[in-house]
Amino acid sequence: MASPHVTFGQLLERFRLELVQRLNNGEFTERALARRAGISQPQLHNMLKGVRTFTPQMADRILKALRLSVRDLIEG
């Protein structure tokens, strides 16, 4: 069971790790996800590697593209 005290930083890291795991499992490619979310592949790549941080707008686009919610990340 997830801790009831999830910080925003922890939530962002769970989000990043969820995306990396799905990429590694072959669910989609960086390019395909970027297209689905309407962002550039280089931006996505840099966010996944931690070079840049996810903006709330970028995170929302990706969550929508994957049909995920913040609740999924909190409970995951």
Write the pLDDT tens digit of every residue in 6-48: 788 888 899 999 999 999 999 999 999 999 999 999 999 999 9
What class is the 8-75 domain? mainly alpha
Q: What is the pTM of this model?
A: 0.83
Query: What is the per-residue pLDDT for 72?
Result: 86
- Hey, where are the domains in the chain? 8-75
pLDDT level of residue 74 (50, 70, 90 thresholds): confident
pLDDT tens profile 50-60: 899 899 899 99
**Chain Cα centroid distance, residue 54:** 8
Q: Is the dihedral of CA 65, 60, 63, 43 positive or negative?
A: positive
